[in-house]
Amino acid sequence: PKMTSLTLADDNTQALDLAKRHIQAAGAGSAHDQVQLRQLDWLHHPKRLGSHLGSLKMYRGILGSDLAYTFTNAKELARAVAYLLQPQIGRFVHVGPVQHDRDVKYLQHFLREGYLMRLDDDAQRFTLRTQTFEVLDKSEIKLKETVETPMEAVVATHHPQYDGVNGDYFFPVETGKYDEEETKVWLEKENRRMGGGRW
Protein backbone atom coordinates (compact mmCIF):
# COMPACT_ATOMS: atom_id res chain seq x y z
CA PRO A 1 0.00 0.00 0.00
CA LYS A 2 1.03 3.60 -0.63
CA MET A 3 2.57 5.46 2.32
CA THR A 4 0.29 8.29 3.42
CA SER A 5 2.40 9.70 6.26
CA LEU A 6 5.77 9.38 7.98
CA THR A 7 6.55 10.28 11.59
CA LEU A 8 10.18 10.66 12.71
CA ALA A 9 10.46 10.37 16.49
CA ASP A 10 13.29 10.87 18.97
CA ASP A 11 13.66 12.08 22.54
CA ASN A 12 16.53 14.37 21.49
CA THR A 13 15.46 17.72 20.04
CA GLN A 14 18.83 18.17 18.31
CA ALA A 15 18.32 14.91 16.43
CA LEU A 16 14.87 16.09 15.36
CA ASP A 17 16.29 19.43 14.18
CA LEU A 18 18.86 17.54 12.09
CA ALA A 19 16.11 15.36 10.63
CA LYS A 20 14.14 18.48 9.73
CA ARG A 21 17.11 19.92 7.83
CA HIS A 22 17.53 16.64 5.93
CA ILE A 23 13.85 16.68 4.98
CA GLN A 24 14.10 20.23 3.70
CA ALA A 25 17.33 19.48 1.82
CA ALA A 26 15.60 16.54 0.12
CA GLY A 27 12.86 18.84 -1.12
CA ALA A 28 10.16 17.29 1.06
CA GLY A 29 9.54 20.45 3.02
CA SER A 30 6.33 21.17 1.15
CA ALA A 31 4.94 17.79 2.20
CA HIS A 32 4.83 18.78 5.87
CA ASP A 33 1.46 17.10 6.33
CA GLN A 34 2.94 13.77 5.29
CA VAL A 35 6.26 14.03 7.17
CA GLN A 36 5.95 14.85 10.86
CA LEU A 37 8.51 15.20 13.64
CA ARG A 38 7.56 14.13 17.16
CA GLN A 39 9.54 14.20 20.39
CA LEU A 40 8.87 10.86 22.08
CA ASP A 41 10.60 9.40 25.10
CA TRP A 42 9.47 5.77 25.02
CA LEU A 43 11.38 5.01 28.24
CA HIS A 44 8.20 5.90 30.10
CA HIS A 45 5.06 3.87 30.64
CA PRO A 46 2.61 4.92 27.86
CA LYS A 47 -0.14 5.41 30.42
CA ARG A 48 2.06 7.79 32.44
CA LEU A 49 2.71 9.75 29.26
CA GLY A 50 -1.00 10.45 29.13
CA SER A 51 -2.11 12.66 26.27
CA HIS A 52 1.47 12.86 24.92
CA LEU A 53 1.38 9.27 23.70
CA GLY A 54 -2.36 9.09 23.41
CA SER A 55 -2.27 11.90 20.86
CA LEU A 56 -0.08 9.81 18.57
CA LYS A 57 -1.96 7.72 16.09
CA MET A 58 -1.37 4.00 15.70
CA TYR A 59 1.10 3.13 12.97
CA ARG A 60 1.13 0.53 10.21
CA GLY A 61 4.91 0.28 10.49
CA ILE A 62 7.43 1.18 13.20
CA LEU A 63 11.15 1.09 12.44
CA GLY A 64 13.74 1.43 15.20
CA SER A 65 17.51 1.39 14.87
CA ASP A 66 19.99 0.38 17.58
CA LEU A 67 17.63 1.06 20.50
CA ALA A 68 17.14 -1.62 23.11
CA TYR A 69 19.82 -3.90 24.53
CA THR A 70 19.26 -3.57 28.30
CA PHE A 71 16.45 -4.96 30.42
CA THR A 72 14.93 -1.53 31.11
CA ASN A 73 15.15 -0.23 27.56
CA ALA A 74 13.70 -3.40 26.07
CA LYS A 75 10.85 -3.47 28.58
CA GLU A 76 9.71 0.06 27.85
CA LEU A 77 10.31 -0.10 24.10
CA ALA A 78 8.18 -3.24 23.86
CA ARG A 79 5.39 -1.50 25.75
CA ALA A 80 5.47 1.61 23.57
CA VAL A 81 5.49 -0.50 20.40
CA ALA A 82 2.57 -2.62 21.61
CA TYR A 83 0.37 0.45 22.08
CA LEU A 84 1.48 2.36 18.96
CA LEU A 85 1.42 -0.48 16.42
CA GLN A 86 -1.76 -1.14 14.49
CA PRO A 87 -3.35 -4.56 14.99
CA GLN A 88 -3.45 -7.12 12.17
CA ILE A 89 -1.51 -5.14 9.53
CA GLY A 90 1.06 -3.43 11.76
CA ARG A 91 4.71 -4.49 11.64
CA PHE A 92 7.57 -3.51 13.97
CA VAL A 93 11.20 -3.82 12.85
CA HIS A 94 14.21 -3.21 15.08
CA VAL A 95 17.59 -3.10 13.31
CA GLY A 96 21.05 -3.01 14.85
CA PRO A 97 24.63 -4.21 14.49
CA VAL A 98 25.55 -7.73 15.57
CA GLN A 99 27.85 -7.23 18.57
CA HIS A 100 28.52 -9.25 21.71
CA ASP A 101 27.36 -6.41 23.96
CA ARG A 102 24.18 -5.71 21.98
CA ASP A 103 21.90 -8.66 22.53
CA VAL A 104 18.25 -8.44 21.50
CA LYS A 105 17.12 -11.30 23.76
CA TYR A 106 15.37 -8.95 26.21
CA LEU A 107 13.44 -7.21 23.45
CA GLN A 108 12.44 -10.51 21.86
CA HIS A 109 11.28 -11.88 25.21
CA PHE A 110 9.13 -8.88 26.15
CA LEU A 111 7.51 -8.65 22.73
CA ARG A 112 6.67 -12.35 22.75
CA GLU A 113 5.87 -13.08 26.41
CA GLY A 114 4.77 -9.66 27.64
CA TYR A 115 2.64 -8.62 24.66
CA LEU A 116 1.99 -11.89 22.83
CA MET A 117 3.46 -10.52 19.62
CA ARG A 118 4.43 -12.88 16.81
CA LEU A 119 8.09 -12.88 15.76
CA ASP A 120 10.64 -15.21 14.24
CA ASP A 121 12.56 -17.45 16.62
CA ASP A 122 15.85 -15.96 15.46
CA ALA A 123 16.74 -12.43 14.43
CA GLN A 124 17.19 -12.01 10.70
CA ARG A 125 20.81 -11.40 9.67
CA PHE A 126 22.11 -9.26 6.79
CA THR A 127 25.11 -7.10 5.87
CA LEU A 128 25.11 -3.29 5.71
CA ARG A 129 27.64 -1.99 3.17
CA THR A 130 28.77 1.64 3.64
CA GLN A 131 30.97 3.37 1.09
CA THR A 132 33.01 6.55 1.50
CA PHE A 133 34.06 8.59 -1.52
CA GLU A 134 36.77 11.18 -2.06
CA VAL A 135 36.13 14.13 -4.36
CA LEU A 136 39.15 14.60 -6.66
CA ASP A 137 37.73 17.44 -8.72
CA LYS A 138 34.38 18.67 -9.97
CA SER A 139 34.04 15.81 -12.43
CA GLU A 140 35.72 12.90 -10.66
CA ILE A 141 35.27 11.03 -7.40
CA LYS A 142 37.19 8.07 -6.01
CA LEU A 143 36.02 5.24 -3.80
CA LYS A 144 37.94 5.64 -0.56
CA GLU A 145 36.60 2.90 1.70
CA THR A 146 33.97 0.17 1.91
CA VAL A 147 32.87 -1.03 5.33
CA GLU A 148 30.67 -4.09 5.80
CA THR A 149 28.78 -4.34 9.09
CA PRO A 150 26.88 -7.49 10.15
CA MET A 151 23.33 -6.49 11.10
CA GLU A 152 20.30 -8.21 12.57
CA ALA A 153 16.61 -7.37 12.48
CA VAL A 154 13.82 -8.32 14.87
CA VAL A 155 10.43 -8.31 13.13
CA ALA A 156 7.20 -8.48 15.15
CA THR A 157 3.45 -8.32 14.50
CA HIS A 158 0.49 -8.28 16.86
CA HIS A 159 -1.38 -11.37 17.95
CA PRO A 160 -4.50 -11.78 15.75
CA GLN A 161 -6.77 -11.54 18.80
CA TYR A 162 -5.51 -8.08 19.73
CA ASP A 163 -7.98 -5.52 18.37
CA GLY A 164 -6.20 -2.25 19.16
CA VAL A 165 -8.29 -1.32 22.19
CA ASN A 166 -8.25 -4.39 24.45
CA GLY A 167 -4.62 -4.14 25.54
CA ASP A 168 -5.47 -3.72 29.24
CA TYR A 169 -7.31 -7.05 29.14
CA PHE A 170 -5.14 -8.87 26.62
CA PHE A 171 -1.45 -8.10 27.22
CA PRO A 172 -0.04 -10.38 29.97
CA VAL A 173 1.95 -7.49 31.50
CA GLU A 174 -1.30 -5.59 32.00
CA THR A 175 -3.46 -8.46 33.23
CA GLY A 176 -0.86 -9.73 35.71
CA LYS A 177 -0.50 -13.05 33.92
CA TYR A 178 3.08 -12.25 32.93
CA ASP A 179 4.11 -12.09 36.60
CA GLU A 180 2.55 -15.50 37.19
CA GLU A 181 4.49 -17.22 34.42
CA GLU A 182 7.79 -18.97 35.05
CA THR A 183 9.11 -17.54 31.78
CA LYS A 184 9.79 -14.20 33.44
CA VAL A 185 11.94 -15.47 36.32
CA TRP A 186 15.25 -15.26 34.48
CA LEU A 187 14.51 -11.64 33.66
CA GLU A 188 13.46 -10.61 37.14
CA LYS A 189 16.95 -11.37 38.49
CA GLU A 190 18.46 -9.08 35.88
CA ASN A 191 15.89 -6.43 36.73
CA ARG A 192 16.85 -6.41 40.41
CA ARG A 193 20.55 -6.43 39.60
CA MET A 194 20.12 -3.30 37.47
CA GLY A 195 18.14 -1.58 40.21
CA GLY A 196 14.84 -1.70 38.39
CA GLY A 197 11.44 -2.15 39.96
CA ARG A 198 8.34 -4.09 39.10
CA TRP A 199 6.06 -3.12 36.24
pLDDT in tens, 86-140: 998 899 999 988 876 677 888 888 999 999 999 976 778 889 899 898 888 777 8
CB 76 within 8 A of CB 107: no
**pLDDT for position 53:** 47
Count Cα neighbours of 164 within 13 Å in the Cβ-side half-sphere.
11
Of 50-59, 76-85, 154-163, 168-177, which gets the smallest average pLDDT? 50-59
Q: Is the pLDDT of residue 175 over 90?
A: no
CB 159 within 8 A of CB 116: yes
The confidence band for 56, taking pLDDT boundaries of 50, 70 and 90, is: low
Positions of E strands within 58-117:
61-65, 91-97
What's this model's pTM, rounded to 2 decimal places? 0.76
